[in-house]
Structure 1
Amino acid sequence: MLPAPTPAPPAAPTANPAEAVLTIANVSLAFGENHVLQDFSLTLLRGENIVVMGKSGAGKSVLIKCVIGLLQTDSGTITVLGQDVAALDHNGLDRLRTKLGFLFQSNALYDSMTVRDNLLFPLRRQWLTHTPAQEAELVKQALEDVGLADTAAKMPAELSGGMRKRIALARTLILRPEIILYDEPTTGLDPITGREIDHLIREVQKKYNTSALIISHDLACVRLTADRVALLSEGRCYAEDTYAGMQANADPQVHDFFV
């Protein structure tokens, strides 16, 4: 009698390979003699999480700023949800940004505002309008999504670091973004809280089918959140693969990140 087969590990969320939500094609950007990005290319699929790794100063934050139109590239194209970012005027960029969420490394919560007002701030600064009842429901849902339903009246100073990170994510989720950009989401958190944030990133991906571009140096975060990993080195996408594939890569420039 044959032994029972070993159960397969849970599959990561899959994406439609034909549906790219973000295409970075041959992008270059220099500041004087400092060539930060050099012919960088990467494609993010709907429902997919990509973690971008690289040494400090490699250009990861610059890449995100180019994606949201805060920096203009010297060459190449960035297409977000079918729109060429460089071709959009101010209003066009504002409308596109309502479909993008951004989780800042520092959380960027307003200390003088309650949690509720922090969440309402981006909601009221975009071109769509909501009734007070709709606003209340969106705040309620966003806080429930991050497991902090009872914090609406609290001030940021009353919350722990992990709770502030969750509130920052709730503020991102309230606009129901199609793409979320995470900048070092676990930096400054203890390992247990960091893992909670990693699992929350996956829960958000699963519930809303969001796509995410994640900047991280935290290997546990990379392992738990990435469907694919891209290594930014010498201004270009030096390598990309699954976490396991990158870990097994014998190239010293790749291998050194995973030891």
Structure 2
Amino acid sequence: MPEEATIVQSDQLISADTANAVSILHLYKSFGNNHVLIDFNLAIKKGESVVVLGKSGSGKSVLIKCIIGLLKPDKGTIAVFGKNVSEIKEEELDKLRAKVGFLFQSNALYDSMTVRENLEFPLRRHWIKVSQVEVNKMVLEALDDVGLAHTVDMMPVELSGGMRKRIALARTLILKPEIILYDEPTTGLDPITGKEIIDLMNDIQEKYNTTSLIISHDMNCVRMTSDRVVILVEGKCYANDTWDRLQQNKDPKVKQFFE
């Protein structure tokens, strides 16, 4: 059995506490006979950084897609800032999504667009109406946050892998999201560049007091970015504690991630 400190008391994790940015209760998601999430429970407080750790195919990416409303749960409740993602109307969901930034593992930059145009894209797509002067200001501010203001008129093909990741993060920041969902933010990067992205994530967290949910296999990223680590095993939130406490845990299902 896991040590008592990491056992998840699911109903105690979810409350109507307004301090929670995200509350997930009794979440189920299957694809045919593949039961990916099974009674998954988690609460994330505003300003907290939580990393979800699990084996490939364990349901980590499915989880964040459910949170943002890209996938609909089979059962259960996901509340973002107190609003049930599955029940609100499309217009309200769109406004809620403007508060949630999503950093894709692949960066998802448009190769045919300049850096400026990539950053402008979410401003054009969302309901927010801003002048071109304001758009220019927001683009340059987001690029300043990631240290790449000089790339504004460059094409993605002209950028290194680390620079493309920074531009993708700048695009995520353009709407000043209150929550950022990171899907494997350091995958495919060399250790030095990966460390730079980790430092940047922490800088953003401190500057904007964002709430972060991070999916990662990079244990250096997990250790350096997390207030808490959630271990996803067999569709459930199996363990939920700090890095230091989980690292000392003797339960085999927890220990395998720290060996």
> TM-score scaled by structure 1?
0.92
Equivalence for 1:124: 124
**1:139 is the counterpart of 2:139:** yes
> Residue 107 in 1 paired to residue 107 in 2?
yes
Cα distance in 2 for partners of 1:115, 1:96 equals 25
SS in 2 for 1:187: coil
C-alpha contact (below 8 Å) 2:18/2:81 kept by paired residues: no
Partner secondary structure for residue 40 of structure 1: strand
User: Which of 24-33 and 117-126 deviates more?
Assistant: 24-33
Task: Tell me how far 1:217 sits from its aligned partner.
Answer: 0.3
Deviation at 1:124, TM superposition (A): 1.1
**Contact in 1 for aligned 2:18/2:82 (Cα 8 Å):** no
1:42 aligns with 2:42: yes
Question: What whole-Å deviation, never above 9, does each CA across 1:183-226 have from its counterpart, x for those lacking one?
Answer: 00000000000000001000000000000110000000001111
**Is 1:241 matched with 2:232?**
no
Task: Find the counterpart in structure 2 of residue 72 from structure 1.
Answer: 72
Q: 1:24: which partner in 2?
A: 24
- What is the identity percentage for the equivalent residue pairs of Structure 1 and Structure 2? 61
Once the 2 structures are TM-superposed, how far is the Cα of residue 132 of structure 1 from its aligned partner?
1.1
Letter in 2 for 1:191: P
In the TM superposition, what is the alpha-carbon distance from 1:72 to its structure 2 partner? 1.3
How far is 1:18 from its partner? 5.9
Shift of 1:180: 0.3
| Unpaired segments ≥5 residues, structure 2 | 1-16
| Aligned equivalent of 1:14 | none
**1:192-231 equivalences in 2 (<5 Å):** 192-231=192-231
Alignment of 1:248-259 (within 5 A): 248-259=248-259
Amino acid at match of 1:247: Q
Gaps of 5+ in 1: 1-16
Residue 54 of structure 2 corresponds to 54
Amino acid at match of 2:154: K
- 1:12 paired residue number: none
Classify the secondary structure of the residue corresponding to 2:86: helix
Taking the aligned partners of 1:102 and 1:62, their CA distance within structure 2 comes to 13
C-alpha distance after superposition, 1:76-131 (max 9, x if no partner): 10000110001012212111100000000000000010000000000111111111
8 Å CA contact retained: 2:28, 2:36: yes
Amino acid at match of 1:19: A
Instruction: Write the distance in 2 (CA, Å) between the matches of 1:67 and 1:188.
Output: 25
Determine helix, strand or coil for the equivalent of 2:126.
coil
1:18–1:128 CA distance, 2 compared to 1 (3 A)? closer
Q: Which residue of 1 aligns with 2:98?
A: 98
Equivalent residue letter for 2:160: S
CA separation in 1, counterparts of 2:32 and 2:129? 43
Question: Following TM superposition, by how much is the alpha carbon of 1:168 offset from its aligned partner in structure 2, in angstroms?
Answer: 0.1
Aligned position for 1:13: none
How far apart in 2 are the matches of 1:43 and 1:210?
15
Let me know the Cα RMSD of the aligned residues.
0.9
Q: What secondary structure, in the 3-state scheme, does the structure 2 residue paired with 1:257 have?
A: coil
Q: Distance in 1 between the 2:180 and 2:173 partners?
A: 9
The AA in structure 2 aligned to 1:78 is I
SS at match of 2:149: coil
In the alignment, the residues of structure 1 paired with residue 153 and residue 50 of structure 2 have an alpha-carbon distance, to the nearest angstrom, of: 34
In structure 2, distance between residues paired with 1:23 and 1:39 = 13
Instruction: Provide the C-alpha distance between the structure 1 equivalents of 2:70 and 2:104, rounded to a whole number of angstroms.
Output: 15
